[in-house]
Copies of this chain bind each other. A is one copy, B any other.
Amino acid sequence: MAELSSRDRMIRSAVELISRNGVDATSFSEVIKHSGAPRGSIYHHFPGGKTELMVEAVRAAGAIITRRISSAAATGSTADVIEAVGDIWRLNLTRSDFAIGCPVIAGGLARASEPEVAEVSAEVMLGWQKLIESQLETAGYPAAQAKSMANLTITSVEGAVAVCQTTRSIEPLEQVIASLQGLSRSEARSN
Contacts and interface: CB of A to CB of B under 8 A. Distances in A.
B159 A172 contact: no
Contact of A166 (B22, B118, B166, B178): B118
Copies per complex of this chain: 2
A183 B156 CA distance: 14
A162 interface: yes
A148 B24 CA distance: 34
Interface centre among A112, A158, A160, A166 (most CB of B within 10 A): A166
A118 B99 CA distance: 12
Contacts of A101: 109
A149 B101 CA distance: 23
Contacts of A179: 148-149, 151-152
A174 to B, nearest CB: 9
A130 interface: no
Interface residues of A, number: 46
A79 interface: no
A158 B162 contact: yes
B167 A122 contact: yes
Interface string A34-61: 0000000000000000000000000000
A77 interface: no
A147 interface: yes
Contacts of A149: 179
